[in-house]
Amino acid sequence: MDIKEAIGASAKFRALLDQVNLVAPVDSTVLLQGETGTGKEVIARAIHEAGPRCRNRFVALNCAAIPAALLENELFGSERGAFTGAVTQTIGRLEAADRGTLFLDEIGELPLELQPKLLRALQEKQFERLGGGRTVQVNVRVIAATNQDLRRMVHERKFRPDLYYRLNVYPITLPPLRERREDIPLLVEHFVELFARQQRKSIDTIPEEVMMALLLYDWPGNVRELQNVIERSVVMSTGRSLSIDTIRSLEPAGSQYVSGAPIPNVLKTGWPTLADAERAHISSILHETNGLVGGPHGAAAQLGIPRTTLIGKMQRLGISTSAGRDRSARARRGLMAASEADSSDSGKAATDRVRVIEMAGGL
């Protein structure tokens, strides 16, 4: 399965990929549910690319981005003369996705008056263009996505129940980033590499105080917000270390720090570095796969990265496949020792340090 854009190795993320792999080969309609910024379009594309329609088009339509008066034309197309200004025939997104996949993002924003026509198109696999009388046959797979509670909208008569049941064939709920914090170090490293390359910069150090702030923040905007924060940090970085200025405004969950207060300096507390956390995490995955790197059940597939990328990381971090089990145990003991070394600290500061160590190591 080609899911290069999806980064993560937590239990919740692996469970999500298991669902993707399960539903991708069949032609069932999928309903993706989750908060904004959780990566619903990335997962939709992964389902398309892993399915039998991968050689055909993936057509996306954001139902919230187009005015209601224009949405019918955008979705179903129109005939010449259907309305003022319609000087040519227009092919809608539904017809453009024939034999491929139609991704309907923000489906909860679809106007009630258009829902019966979409329902008929999904059930009968046919529709008429706006202003036309000829029936158009289509063969599409539909993946819909929403950050709203469609079931509640049905009860409130804001969404048709028959369309809801037609879309809710195979529901997948994407976890928010705060529920898979152990993926944050991998995501941060990915985005730093991405934006540093785009901006032609060389950034090879992520300060521990930066990572601590990123781990403690609740991320209401999820992965999209994290991506934007990292891009801004890379822009502001003038050396080989990621700038700390951008993350000073991030308020930790259950904040014990007031907004604008300096980020605590953890460089002097004996914490494990980001490399230590990444080494422990990769070693743990290698332990689970018995040292297998490639293949569908190997560590690279579990981490969601190419095999060559994983080998490069292993060489950089000094990880060998034969030592996966021992290194994982040593790394975890090191993380535990680091938290015990801070046990003399009092109150919430010590609690938060242990919490960050656990999250950074994916324990």
Which whole number is the average pLDDT over 7-24?
A: 91
Q: Which residue has the higher pLDDT, 361 or 140?
A: 140
What band does 276 get if pLDDT is binned at 50, 70 and 90?
low
Q: Which residue has the higher pLDDT, 50 or 248?
A: 50
Which whole number is the average pLDDT over 51-57?
A: 95
In contact, 30 and 167? CB cutoff 8 Å: no
Reply yes or no on whether the pLDDT at 346 is more than 80.
no
Which whole number is the average pLDDT over 160-166?
A: 97
Helices (H) and strands (E) in the chain, counts: 15, 9
Reply yes or no on whether the pLDDT at 356 is more than 70.
no
User: Measured between alpha carbons, how far is 105 from 43 in angstroms, rounded to an integer?
Assistant: 12
Reply yes or no on whether the pLDDT at 327 is more than 80.
no
Which whole number is the average pLDDT over 84-106?
A: 89
Q: Domain ranges for the chain, please list them.
A: 11-175, 179-361
Q: pLDDT value at position 38?
A: 94
Q: Which residue has the higher pLDDT, 301 or 151?
A: 151
User: Measured between alpha carbons, how far is 137 from 124 in angstroms, rounded to an integer?
Assistant: 9
User: Measured between alpha carbons, how far is 228 from 225 in angstroms, rounded to an integer?
Assistant: 5
Reply yes or no on whether the pLDDT at 104 is more than 90.
yes
Q: pLDDT value at position 319?
A: 87
- Residues shown for the chain: 363
Reply yes or no on whether the pLDDT at 182 is more than 70.
yes
Report CA 60 to chain centroid distance, whole Å: 17
Q: What pTM was estimated for this model as a whole?
A: 0.69
The CATH classification of domain 179-361, taken from the options 3.40.50.720, 3.40.720.10, 1.10.357.10, 1.10.8.60: 1.10.8.60
Q: pLDDT value at position 320?
A: 79
Q: pLDDT value at position 133?
A: 77
Report CA 40 to chain centroid distance, whole Å: 7
Q: Which residue has the higher pLDDT, 231 or 326?
A: 231
Query: In the predicted model, what is the mean pLDDT of the chain?
Result: 81
Which whole number is the average pLDDT over 67-94?
A: 83
CATH 3.40.50.300 is held by the domain 11-175: yes
Residues with Cβ within 8 Å of residue 206, at least 6 apart in sequence: 188, 189, 192, 241, 242, 274
Q: pLDDT value at position 7?
A: 82
Report CA 133 to chain centroid distance, whole Å: 42
Would you call 228 helix, strand, or coil by DSSP? helix
